[in-house]
Amino acid sequence: SYVLTQTPSVSLAPGQTARITCGENNIGFETVHWYQQKPGQAPVLVVYDDRHRPSGVPERFSGSTSGGTATLTISTVEAGDEADYYCQAWDSSSDHPVVFGGGTKLTVL
């Protein structure tokens, strides 16, 4: 079954570009989705199916995949982007198909 691995934390200054990665142990997971969770709030979907943004999500948020690693890129980072970010995938070969990564805490210095 899938295991999604995320770097625990990323820190950068406002205006920089954040790249948050999600590595998968089996080559060829279908797609990855990304959620943003701010303290005390429920998660919010920011990217689905690797690279698509739901309505209302700023264009600064983008997703991509390459060689078994998915990346959430946040350009021109703002203080309001400080949050935990989780990747999620669906393992169609498993009877427990929904898998979340461990999360990455983005700190804006």
Positions that interact with another protein (CB under 8 A): 30-31, 33, 35, 37, 42-45, 48-49, 52, 54, 84, 86, 88-90, 95-103
Asked whether the beta carbons of 39 and 65 are under 8 A apart, the reply is no
Residue carrying structure tokens 């943004």 = 53
State which residue, 2 or 81, has the beta carbon closest to another protein: 2
State which residue, 31 or 73, has the beta carbon closest to another protein: 31
State which residue, 60 or 90, has the beta carbon closest to another protein: 90
Closest alpha carbon to 81 in 92, 89, 93, 73: 73
Distance CA 12, CA 108 (A): 5
Beta carbon of residue 13, minimum distance to another protein (angstroms, whole number): 26
What's the number of CA atoms in the CB half-sphere (13 Å) around residue 23?
5
Beta carbon of residue 14, minimum distance to another protein (angstroms, whole number): 26
Distance CA 76, CA 98 (A): 31
State which residue, 13 or 55, has the beta carbon closest to another protein: 55
Beta carbon of residue 69, minimum distance to another protein (angstroms, whole number): 17
